[in-house]
Amino acid sequence: MEQTHAEPNYMKVFWWLLALTIVEVGIIYSAVPKWSMVMALILMALLKAFLVAWNFMHLRFEKTALIVVVGFPLLLLVDLFLGLMPDIAHRIF
């Protein structure tokens, strides 16, 4: 049985990606502390990756198991980041 689903609004996603990119460039040239800049850029990069995967790779319509398989490495990345936080904080400050 063939499933049908509505196509994402690609232009809306494009404008969101463009806006996030402009904000990222603005953060680079602003006078925010390095730690805040790094965290903001990482969060925006993750949001942009999510938008691309969710809409252009059509993960919105995949089974929950696939989303869990994609999300698990992200949890491992957060765990690694938190485990290395003392070394990272030492180098940044």
Question: No. of H helices and E strands in the chain?
Answer: 4, 0
Give mean pLDDT, residues 48-67. 78
- Asked if residue 55 lies in contact with residue 8, where contact means CB atoms within 8 angstroms, the answer is yes
For residues 17 and 45, give the distance between their C-alpha atoms in angstroms, rounded to a whole number. Answer: 10
User: Which pLDDT score is estimated for 37?
Assistant: 93
- pLDDT by residue (tens digit) across 7-22? 778 899 999 999 999 9
Residue 42 predicted with pLDDT over 90:
yes
For residues 21 and 38, give the distance between their C-alpha atoms in angstroms, rounded to a whole number. Answer: 14
Residue 6 predicted with pLDDT over 80:
no
- pLDDT by residue (tens digit) across 21-35? 999 999 999 988 998
Residue 1 predicted with pLDDT over 60:
no
User: Which pLDDT score is estimated for 22?
Assistant: 97
For residues 26 and 56, give the distance between their C-alpha atoms in angstroms, rounded to a whole number. Answer: 26
Q: Which residues are within 8 A (CB) of 59 and not within 5 positions of it... i.e. 6 or more apart?
A: 53, 66, 67, 70
Give mean pLDDT, residues 41-54. 91
User: Which pLDDT score is estimated for 2?
Assistant: 59
For residues 52 and 16, give the distance between their C-alpha atoms in angstroms, rounded to a whole number. Answer: 10
